[in-house]
Amino acid sequence: MTGLLLLALGASLVNNFVLTNFLGLCPFVGVSRRFEAAAGMALATLFVLTLASGLSFALWHWVLQPLGLEHVRTLGFILLIAGVVQFTELMVRATSPLLHQVLGLFLPLITTNCAVLGVALINVDRQRGLLESLVYGASAGAGFGLALLLFTALRERLDASDVPAAFRGAPVALVTAGLMALAFMGFAGLGAR
Amino acid sequence: MSAEVWLACAVAAALAATCGFALGWAASRLPPATDRLVDRIDALLPQTQCGQCLYPGCRPYAAAIASGEADIDRCPPGGEATVRALAVLLDREPKPVDPAHGPDKGLVVAWIDEQRCIGCARCLPACPVDAIVGAHRYAHTVIAEQCTGCERCLAPCPVDCIEVRPVPQLATLKRWPRAA
């Protein structure tokens, strides 16, 4: 139990996927202009990450390893993730057409969010069990969502503030992301794992 | 090629096929029924985007009708014909348009008195359908065929040179089939 808790803490805060491992930066910068869109993206990514880590566990342990096909895992995982993302898009379109419109292109782009593939590969490399994989995926998604929402809130404030002309737009956003990454280093040593 | 390569290809193909079938099954199980209802309601609304129903536009109002949040009598530009069409679609009793959301003026379009227009261009961004032609320091005019008569351009005009006029019964009006 403590192990799982530490795993979740580690994946969401200490080794935050965006701010420590620099994975998933595309949606982090792309969908952080408006809070509602960011919240939708965070939820969608959390859903995809959890589902994909469970399914990739099944694929790895029940198909690829018995057949001795460890070397095609990247291809297999990408296929799996693409399927899950498409499923998520179906769900979002059916439940909230407005959110579907807001997220637009970024919803299918979760497929190429390297955090999703990263979680699947890390799970396999560390030889985690099904429950551990699911917890790791979910907390990585939660960490991604946390970072994304905090960053979006900061950017909405930045839009209203008087930024020097040379820094307006992307530059100040990237500087902000860097400062956030520094702040998240404060979590290092928490749980020590 | 060695057998292993073929095996890898077969596994990848099987995986893709499984994903495809699962997605097809999920798509057939998740019919976006509410979405289609919103589309059908939206098609009956006049698309003036005037906001007199107190929603930001016609589609949000259509969504509100679909979810049961708003009644069907809040669209003065659509008038009785729209309420009747909505009542048929949703199988409800038709009712008169609620006067609290504005009077039913019939089919109107905006008209600019070009003698008085000072060319301030303030009415241009107000128009939800870009039916006003003009530029700074040039008199503006309304493309009657595009105008939805939503009256949003009246308030920004500093010299009050815009008024709404009943549409002459010409066949050139290609807008929503209100009279039909």
Task: State the pLDDT at residue B35.
Answer: 59
Q: How many angstroms away from the CA of A135 is the closest CA of chain B?
A: 23
Task: State the pLDDT at residue A180.
Answer: 92
Smallest CA–CA distance from A86 into chain B, residue: B23
Identical fold at B33-101 and B107-180? no
Instruction: Tell me the mean pLDDT in the region B24-28.
Output: 86
Tokens for A149?
Answer: 């929402």
Say which residues have a Cβ less than 8 Å from residue B62's Cβ, sequence separation at least 6: B38, B39, B41, B42, B45
Tokens for B149?
Answer: 């008569």
* β-bridge pairing B162-166 and B141-142: unpaired
Say which residues have a Cβ less than 8 Å from residue B165's Cβ, sequence separation at least 6: B108, B109, B110, B111
Task: State the pLDDT at residue B178.
Answer: 46
Q: Which of B4, B11, B30 sits opposite A91 (nearest CB)?
A: B30
Give the ipTM. Answer: 0.74
Task: State the pLDDT at residue A147.
Answer: 93
pLDDT in single tens digits along all 193 residues of chain A = 788 888 888 888 888 888 888 888 888 888 888 888 888 889 889 989 999 999 999 999 998 888 888 888 899 999 999 999 988 888 887 777 777 777 777 788 888 888 889 999 999 998 888 999 999 999 999 999 999 999 999 999 988 888 898 988 889 999 999 999 999 888 887 765 4
The fold of B107-180 is Alpha-Beta Plaits (3.30.70)
CATH class of B33-101: mainly alpha
- A90 and B23 within 8 Å at the Cβ level: the answer is yes
The DSSP call for residue B93 is -
By the CB < 8 Å criterion, does A175 face chain B? no
- pLDDT higher than threshold 80 for residue B2: yes
How buried is A129 (Cβ within 10 angstroms: 0-12 exposed, 13-18 middle, 19+ buried)?
A: exposed
Smallest CA–CA distance from A76 into chain B, residue: B12
Q: B-chain residues within 8 Å CB-CB of A98?
A: 63
Q: B-chain residues within 8 Å CB-CB of A64?
A: 11
pTM listed for this prediction: 0.62
- B23 and A80 within 8 Å at the Cβ level: the answer is no
Q: What are the structural domain ranges in chain B?
A: 1-30, 33-101, 107-180
- B11 and A64 within 8 Å at the Cβ level: the answer is yes
- Between A2-9 and A130-160, two packed helices, what is the crossing angle to 10 degrees? 30
Smallest CA–CA distance from A85 into chain B, residue: B23
Task: State the pLDDT at residue A96.
Answer: 75
Tokens for A38?
Answer: 């960011």
Task: State the pLDDT at residue A177.
Answer: 92
Task: State the pLDDT at residue A175.
Answer: 92
CB within 8 Å of chain B, chain A residues 79-98 = 79-80, 82-83, 86-87, 90-91, 93-94, 97-98
Q: Please report, rounded to a whole number, the percentage of residues in chain B having pLDDT higher than 70.
A: 88
- B31 and A94 within 8 Å at the Cβ level: the answer is yes
Q: What is the pLDDT of residues B110-161, one digit of tens each?
A: 889 989 999 898 999 888 888 899 888 888 999 887 887 788 888 899 999 9
Give me the torsion for CA of B3, B7, B10, B14, rounded to 10°: 160
Q: A-chain residues within 8 Å CB-CB of B22?
A: 83, 87
